[in-house]
Amino acid sequence: MAKKSSSYVTTLLLAPMAIWMTALLILPILVVLVYSFGELAEMGGYKPAFTLAQYANLPARLTAFKNTLVLAPAGTLAAFLIAYPLAYYLARTVEPRRRMILLTLVIVPFWTSFLIRTYAWMFILGGRGIPALLEFIGIEGVRLLNTPTAVLIGIVYGYLPLMVFPIFVSLEKVDESLLEASNDLGASPVRTFLQVTLPLSLPGVATACMIVFILLMGEFLIPALLGGGKVFFIGNALVDLFLQSRNWPFGSAVAITLVVVMLVIVSLYMRMIFKPGKTQDVSMI
Amino acid sequence: MDPRKKFIETLNSYKKGSISRREFLGKTGLGLATAVMAMNMPGLMGLRQANAASKLGNRVSLATWPNYHDPENLKKFTEKTGVHIQHNVFGSNEEMLAKVQAGGSPFDVMVITNYTISTYVKLGLLEPLDLSKLPNFIEANHEQVFIGEAKIGGKIYAVPKNWGTTGYVVNTKKIKDKMTTWKQFWDLTITKYSGRTIVHDYQLTAIGNALKYFGYSFNSIDPKELAEAEKLMIKAKPHLFAISSDYQPAMRNGDAWMSICWTGDGSQLHRDMPEIQYVLGKEGGELWTDFFAIPKSAEHLEAAYALTNFLLDPAVNAAEVKKHGYPATDKLTNKLLPKEMLDDPIMYPAKELLDPLEFGAAATLTSPLRAEVMARFKAA
């Protein structure tokens, strides 16, 4: 009896989520899937049909896929390289008293719209921003705005907090006694870091990288504002297909392809990172 | 100073400076956010409480272009009628159409460009206007050339707001060459002034003015001619500063020296920085008219007519023109404008420059070929 009522409670608790996911995620994706086999109506929009023509046309957006598949991992890596030392400092070095303040500072940018902050970077990277400063110290002719570098800077800036937090949490959870044991057994600090701290923080690193990577694959705002329309992501291709060409079937095919590419990459990634054997190794240390 | 007033002033100065540019607001919906804020916090914006009892209702949503209205006028309309205006700013006609085509009733009044009207009508998105509700529109006061495309089967589907041209602006402090043609525009972009040119993120004008390089029609959908234009655009791409319809900030701060440009942006830039000059290519280019239209799906029909009629009032319209620098099509409005404005060569170019210009053609809006040329140019 008790068991039955608990399963009833479980169903009840999961229902809102299930309804939410079905109505707002699965159904829309199905609509997009159906559209992707359709044809472009004469005045723009969608005309029912069953054709693979939209998928056959995918090479027309190859550059956008390529740009995204280069800059999204590059951005993830750059954000990771900057975020890890910061997270380490916050979790292990700084006095607990000041930790709260510093953590809050990491969140503060979220209080302002991401758009406004990215727009602000247009001025920082524009001719009167950093290039003007560089000119002042004698380095001339530097162009930053509307280059892939500017997009990369924008990405690192925008996604850093998302990278810092999961890593911070996993580093903070590392048991101090393990580090002491490593030290007592004669390992150097570097070795302790490489063989104890780093492996134990990997789940956090993996989560952080995945969140950032997935979001970056759909990014369109940063390339639009900081790339000046010259750095074209798949997200920008989608915006143009729906809002400029009004080519819903092709836009849908590109969207479905993006989802598939992402699913493949993420599942390979998960398999690589979360190997059962590896987790056991870690827990045995 | 009244903090409320100060806030509005700051907001307006942001708008004028750089924040409320076409692309930014269009792409981000921030304009919409401002409008929603204005609507839901009337106290904050210093507006009278909405009069819900009025037969006009208390709100109307306007889809338009950036820097295209005098904020004072919009405020006056709300004060007079109690109807709050939700002010939506767009980046391209394509985008506006996409929103309406997707369904719902997003807007009550739309400012659309001549070449899109026939498509709206064919898609069943517009109905003939009830002209009895627009007494300020007197057909005889507008030249037929500006009304033509709004008249389908003898019925008027939209009433003209402003007209203008699409040329380019040049910062003459940086560019000493005497610029007169589209050929120069592209040639100097690729050579002498590499990295200093902006091309619109808009198929009609970007492709159209590349077609003019070869002397083809601005509206061509001929595959061979488009292929040549595409080649030129892709060759120029590494030399562009940006592909963007948001060109005022970069022109103002000196990052860009040359940009494809609409009349009003040309007027505004030249007004603030006299060294920025507006050029119409000798080969031709675009001449356009923008219209007020009320979509079939409009939820606040009475308010939509009231707002349109208000903005067509010659005194109101003249204030608009003084602010945005686009010429009006209405004779009565022109009578109220100062002489120096009517003589302004940016607003009223010489006849020999106007003659070769073409109105945008409906076919460019729906041509998959032009859309793909633009997409390949951007992805290259």
Instruction: Give the Å distances, CA to CA, from A207 to A62, A262, A277, B12, B92.
Output: 28, 15, 18, 43, 39
Q: pLDDT at residue A128 above 70? A: yes
Indicate whether B203 and B105 sit together in one domain.
no
Whether chain A has a CB inside 8 Å of the CB on B189: the answer is: no
Inter-CA distances, B309 with A104, A186, A279, B35, B66, Å: 52, 86, 71, 21, 20
Let me know: does B281 contact B167? Beta carbons within 8 Å: yes
Whether residues B8 and B114 share a domain: the answer is: yes
Spatial separation of the C-alpha atoms in residues A25 and A284, rounded to whole Å:
40
Q: Where are the domains of chain A?
A: 63-284
Task: Indicate if the pLDDT at residue B35 is higher than 90.
Answer: no
AA letter at A186: G
Q: What's the pTM?
A: 0.84
Q: Does A246 touch chain B (CB under 8 A)?
A: yes
Q: Average of pLDDT values for B245-274?
A: 95
pLDDT for the residue B174: 96
Predicted local confidence at residue B53, as pLDDT = 43
Summarize the confidence of residues B116-125 as an average pLDDT: 95
* B19 shares contact with chain A (CB less than 8 Å): yes
A140 token code pair: 């001339």
Q: Does B130 lie in the same domain as B8?
A: yes
Which pLDDT belongs to residue A212? 96
pLDDT > 70? residue B47: no
ipTM: 0.83
Cβ separation of B95 and A244 shorter than 8 Å?
A: yes
The answer to whether residues B139 and B278 belong to one domain is: no
Q: Is the pLDDT of residue B39 over 60?
A: no
Contact status, residue B241 vs residue B301, Cβ threshold 8 Å? no
Mean pLDDT, range B346-358, rounded to an integer:
95
Measure CB to CB from residue B201 to each of A40, A64, A229 and give the nearest one.
A229
Check whether residue B134 and residue B8 sit in a common domain: yes
> Within an 8 Å CB–CB cutoff, is residue A85 touching chain B?
no
**Mean of pLDDT values over A19-23:** 94
Q: Select from B244, B257, B376 the residue whose CB has the most chain A CBs within 10 Å, as the one to mutate to test that interface.
A: B244
Q: What is the pLDDT of residue A110?
A: 86
For residue B104, name the pLDDT band (cuts at 50, 70, 90): confident
Token pair of A54 as six digits: 């939209």
Mutation target vs A (from B239, B240, B255; most A CBs, 10 A cutoff): B255
| Cβ <8 Å between B376 and A236 | no
Q: What is the CATH number of the domain that holds B177?
A: 3.40.190.10
Indicate whether A241 pLDDT > 80. yes
pLDDT over threshold 70, residue B48:
no
Domains of chain B: total = 2
Rounded to an integer, the average pLDDT of B52-72 is: 86
How far from B357 is each of B170, B282, B353, CA to CA, in Å?
A: 20, 9, 7
Inter-chain Cβ pairs, chain A and chain B, closer than 8 A: 97
Instruction: Report the C-alpha gap between B42 and B189 in whole angstroms.
Output: 48
| Residue A96, Cβ density class (10 Å: 0-12 exposed, 13-18 middle, ≥19 buried) | exposed
CB B250, CB A225: distance < 8 Å: no
Does B371 contact chain A (CB < 8 Å)?
Answer: yes
The answer on B368 and B262 residing in a single domain is: yes
Query: For residue range A101-117, what is the model confidence (pLDDT) as tens digits?
Result: 999 999 998 889 999 99
Residue with tokens 């302790």: A192
Interacting residues of A97 by C-beta distance below 8 A, sequence separation 6+: none
Look at the domain A63-284 and name its fold.
MetI-like fold (1.10.3720)
Contact across the interface for A244 and B379, Cβ inside 8 Å = no
Q: Is the pLDDT of residue B30 over 70?
A: no
What Å distances lie between residue B134 and B74, B131, B271, B289, B307, CA to CA?
Answer: 17, 5, 33, 19, 10
Q: What angle do CA A239, A216, B368 make, to 5 degrees?
A: 20
Determine how β-strand B285-293 pairs with β-strand A39-40.
Answer: unpaired
Least CB–CB distance from B30: residue in A61, A115, A123:
A115
The answer on pLDDT for B165 being more than 50 is yes
Cα–Cα distance, B288 to B165 (Å, whole number): 6
pLDDT (0 to 100) of residue B91: 80
Q: How far is Cα A117 from Cα A131, in angstroms, rounded to an integer? A: 19
Name the more confident of B161 and B24. Answer: B161
Residue identified by tokens 């987790």 is A279
Same domain, B111 and B173: no
- Token code pair at residue A32: 């997009």
pLDDT tens string B78-89? 999 999 999 998
Residue B4 has what pLDDT?
63
Between positions 25 and 84 of A, the ones with CB within 8 A of B are: 40, 42-45, 60-61, 63-64
Residues B159 and B185 placed together within one structural domain of the fold = no
CA distance B70 to B64: 12
What mean pLDDT value characterizes chain B? 88
Residues B58 and B183 reside in one and the same domain:
no
Q: What is the mean pLDDT of residues A237-247?
A: 91
Nearest to A146 among B119, B201, B242 (CB): B242
**Given pLDDT bands bounded at 50, 70 and 90, which one contains residue B46?**
very low
**Contact with chain A for residue B374, Cβ under 8 A:** yes
Residue A285 has pLDDT above 80, yes or no: no
Q: What is the helix (H) or strand (E) element at residue A77, kind and residue range? A: helix A62-88
Do B298 and B182 fall into the same domain? no
B14 in reach of chain A (CB within 8 A): no
Per-residue pLDDT band for B9 (boundaries 50, 70, 90) equals low
| pLDDT tens profile B288-333 | 999 999 999 999 999 999 999 999 999 999 999 999 999 999 999 9
> Mean of the pLDDT values across residues A157-171?
95
Please give the Cα distance from B271 to A190 (Å, whole number): 63
Mean pLDDT in chain A? 91
Q: Are residues B69 and B177 in the same domain?
A: no
Q: Are residues B114 and B140 in the same domain?
A: yes
Taking the C-alpha atoms of residue B324 and residue B333, their distance in angstroms, rounded to an integer, is 14
Q: Which domain holds residue B27?
A: 3-163+288-340
> Contacts for A233-239 with beta carbons within 8 Å, 24 or more apart?
A233/A64, A233/A67, A233/A68, A233/A71, A234/A61, A234/A64, A234/A65, A234/A67, A234/A68, A234/A258, A235/A68, A236/A64, A236/B378, A237/A61, A237/A64, A237/B375, A237/B379, A239/B27
CA distance to partner chain A, nearest, from residue B366 (Å): 6
Work out the minimum CA distance from A178 to partner chain B, whole angstroms: 49
Instruction: Give the gap in angstroms from C-alpha B330 to the nearest C-alpha of chain A.
Output: 31
